[in-house]
Amino acid sequence: MDKKNMAVNSTLTATQEETTSPAIIPLRPPVVKPTEKECATLKARLALLGRTLQCARRACDGRRTWHVSDYRGTFVFGHWGDVLAHVTSLEHRGRVL
């Protein structure tokens, strides 16, 4: 009898632990889609640095990529946050702290 009660109690505590466990964090970051104003602002910031910004969408799976180009070459980014970080690094490149 004691073994049955122990089995029931252990099942209940396992179920309770599952319901109170923290949420699972997704491996991929959420997709951030910039607004038209954000794109225009970033294009202007890049133009001051002698660069262009283009957005491309792949036909096969619809992924969006951003291309930052200058006379030396092109950087291709798959996440909007990476584009923002690149522009920030370009703006701070010549500054001395």
Q: What is the pLDDT along the chain (97 residues), one digit of tens a residue?
A: 555 555 445 555 545 555 555 667 666 666 778 889 999 999 999 999 999 999 988 888 888 899 999 999 999 999 999 999 999 998 888 665 5
d(CA 18, CA 37) in angstroms, rounded, equals 44
Of the candidates 57, 51, 91, the one whose C-alpha atom is nearest the C-alpha of residue 74 is 51
Q: Is the pTM of this model over 0.75?
A: no
In the block, tokens 């252990």 appear at 10
The predicted pLDDT at position 37 comes to 92
